[in-house]
Amino acid sequence: MGMQMKRLREHREAKGLSREALAREAGVSAALIQAHEQGRNHDTHVSVAAPLALALGIRMDELFAVEDMGFRVKAAQPTP
């Protein structure tokens, strides 16, 4: 199973971009963005995630929900 960009829409809307505007900026199709936002594309390649992240001004990992990364994040423990 691949990874979904579950946070793509959240970041796109936060930047005030339409799907079409983000597509132009990232050099991908608006249909591809729509498919990812609707969870219909489960196989995200770096060749797609990298230009989207760049166009949004974020790191690539910020497009994905932590639970999709296959590990659990523990709260930081104070050092003695």
Q: Is residue 40 part of a domain?
A: yes
Q: Is residue 12 part of a domain?
A: yes
Q: Is residue 19 part of a domain?
A: yes
Q: Is residue 26 part of a domain?
A: yes
Predicted model pTM: 0.75
pLDDT in tens, 12-27: 999 999 999 999 999 9
Q: What is the CATH number of the domain that holds 31?
A: 1.10.260.40
Percent of the chain at pLDDT > 90 equals 48
Structural domain total, the chain: 1
Domain that holds residue 21: 8-68
Give the pLDDT of residue 3. Answer: 60
Give the pLDDT of residue 1. Answer: 38
Q: Is residue 76 part of a domain?
A: no
Q: Is residue 78 part of a domain?
A: no
Q: Is residue 73 part of a domain?
A: no
What DSSP line would sit under the chain, residue for residue? -----TTHHHHHHHTT--HHHHHHHHTS-HHHHHHHHTT------HHHHHHHHHHHTS-GGGGS-GGGGTS-PPPPPPP-
Taking residues 51-57, report their average pLDDT. Answer: 95
